Structure 1
Amino acid sequence: MFRRTAPRSISTHLSIGEVIWKVTGLYRIYLAVTLVAVGLNHQTCPLAARERLAALGAASAREALAARGWREVVVLATCNRFEVYAVGLAAPEELERSLAAFLDAHAGGPVSQHLTRFAGAEAARHLFAVSSGLDSLVLGESEILGQVKTAYEAALESGTTGKLTNVLFQRALFVGKAVRGRTG
């Protein structure tokens, strides 16, 4: 087996994630690992729909998604948002559709029209904004950083994190603390 960098056509369309490759005989199979974030928040969704998903609970959603074959799953559930950060082996649009269908099925009604959807670096930027309090009902609120930490630790304990989500959430917590330290 030999190592080489991924072809430019593959590596340039991935803004965050990994390119994993296997060499089997004469065949090279490239698998793109994609980070997606799909969820509802106070800006996009009425309270009733957020409450229906809150009733599902972060732990139940995380376990159900892990059982469906998602590689890494962290669910952030607060009074103002319900967001799923997940890693899968498909195109971002396909992964987003899959998560949207899951949320529709478990919300007791359609919520797809209210979802925020991010992939790759946009998903990371969104999490950084959330952990910094920039995407909160009250701009700069500090409680969200603790909620992000709790969601990450719960996923870590349940075994639904991996290399990508570990780095992402550790960096998000660092960014949130840095913003809090600089802005008071």
Structure 2
Amino acid sequence: MAVWALGLNHTTAPLDLRGRFAFALDQLTPTLHSLRGSFAPSRHPDVEAAIISTCNRTEIYCAADHAALDHTVGWLAESGGVSPSLLRSHAYTLEGDHAARHAFRVASGLDSMVLGEAQILGQMKDAVRAAENAGALGSTLNQLFQRSFAVAKEVRTATEIGAHSISMAAASVRLASQLFEDLKQTRVLFVGAGEMIDLAATHFAARSPKSIVIANRTLERGEKLASRFGGEAMRLADLPARLAEFDIVVSCTASTLPLIGLGAVERALKQRRHRPMFMVDLAVPRDIEPEVKALSDVYLYTVDDLAQVVQQGQAQRQAAVAQAEVIIDAGVQSFMHWLGQRGTVPLIQQLNAQTDAWRAAELARAKKLLARGEDLDAVLDALSRGLTQKMLHGAMAELHAGDAAAREQTAQTIARLFLRKER
């Protein structure tokens, strides 16, 4: 069984290219069906697949009898509307133990922009559930991911990998406090109501801003989140008219097109008489048009812009990284051993079927003899001899076949299999 992975992340691809390959959670089922359906059934029957898509990465994991990296690259390139050569220049392809090690490192937070962050583990679990619900997750990928979750748990228990991590939400608050002298005097707008906005709102709420407003396409969901912070909810459609009210805007939705355009921000700045606005776009693809960054009174940060801030404290985590890599190596070796054993499963099944057939034939013969009144001991003796002769027939035939060197090798193998001493 072959395992392979294809991906691009914050270190290999720019934000706008990553945006072309971002899949919302509710898109994963049809996307997985499309991917699996693109493989030739004769060459790659029952391909297992899972897709992890976050603001910092999109990764495809597959398992089948034979690896098909070129085909996977071609499918993903077509889905994003780019050439395979362009995708390859910004992507990484991994097979076997390299793919397993990567999955384990991702789950453990070692491959994240925020070293040691725990959010990716939940995102991976969501992706695995989506693959399972889509019928795309077989025993091989299930083992890969379940083992990656176990390794991630051990890494967090046995090391201090996450002790000094700074999340993007915390980094946003830190940057905002550099622009505004007192965050208690600011009005904050959050666009979206997902996990990332929940995290960001929690960090900003701790600084007690003057007001918190949640803008969301579904008002009920926005109200539910806003109530936790004593805030207000509004419809997404009302955002352009009210944008000028807010000093800080943090956006993270699953929209495929920008929700906040250059014109809307220009009008808001005019109403604000050019008082500065701090904006954070945590979405991939972008929620805020990139041209907004050029406005003199706007301080716009994307997920890539936050990289330098969140990397602070990385030096203190290097010892924990070394410990984590040891745990991951052990996990990879264990998975590859399991994967290697999977290759013998068809042979084991054939052996069991063959011995069952022999047993059934000898048992039927013994029953006929007993029905005719044959002596019980003689029938049992014939039964046992018939079974052993059938089991040894192939080995005996091989001992008399081939040249001297082949017979010697066969003899050693048969001795190892049939003349093992009981311990």
TM-score by length of 2: 0.34
Q: Which has the higher contact order (CA 8 A, sep 6+)?
A: 1
Question: What is the DSSP-based 3-state SS (H/G/I as helix, E as strand, rest coil) of the residue aligned with 2:33?
Answer: helix
Aligned to 1:126: 102
Distance verdict in 2 for CA 1:141–1:117, change over 3 Å: same
1:1-184 map, 5 Å:
33-55=1-23, 57-69=27-39, 71-90=47-66, 92=67, 95-110=68-83, 111-184=87-160
- Cα distance between partner residues in 1 of 2:28 and 2:130: 9
- Rg (Cα) greater in structure: 2
2:105/2:111 contact within 8 Å kept: yes
Moved over 4 A (4+): none
Of residues 98-107 and 66-75 in structure 1, the stretch that sits farther from structure 2 once superposed is 66-75
Where is the helix percentage greater, Structure 1 or Structure 2? 2
Say if 2:23 and 2:53, in contact at 8 Å, map to a contact too. Answer: no
Secondary structure of 1:83 counterpart = strand
CA RMSD in angstroms comes to: 1.5
By how many angstroms is 1:112 displaced? 2.1
| Distance in 2 (alpha carbons) for counterparts of 1:43 and 1:58 | 24
Q: TM-score with structure 1 length normalisation?
A: 0.76
Q: Equivalent residue of 2:52, what SS?
A: strand
- Give the match's secondary structure for 2:61: strand
* Counterpart AA for 2:139: K
- Alignment size in residue pairs: 149
Mapped contact 1:100–1:115 kept (Cα < 8 A):
no
Equivalent-residue separation in structure 2 for 1:67 and 1:101 (angstroms) = 14
CA distance change for structure 1 residues 55 and 165 in 2, over 3 Å: closer, same or farther? closer
How far apart in 1 are the matches of 2:8 and 2:128?
Answer: 18
Query: Percent identity between the aligned chains?
Result: 39
Q: Does the 8 Å contact 1:101/1:112 carry over to 2?
A: no
Q: Any gaps of 5 or more consecutive residues in structure 2? A: 40-45, 161-423
**Is the strand fraction higher in 1 or 2?**
1
Shift of 1:55: 4.9
**Partner secondary structure for residue 21 of structure 2:** helix
Q: Deviations over 1:107-148 (max 9, x none)?
A: 121322111110011100000000000000111011001011
* SS of alignment partner, residue 158 of structure 2: helix
> For residue 152 of structure 1, what is the amino acid of its counterpart?
V
Per the alignment, do residues 58 and 45 of structure 1 end up closer, same or farther by CA in structure 2, a change over 3 Å counting? farther
Deviation per CA, 1:19-70, whole angstroms, max 9, x where unpaired?
xxxxxxxxxxxxxx21000011111111111101115743333121122245
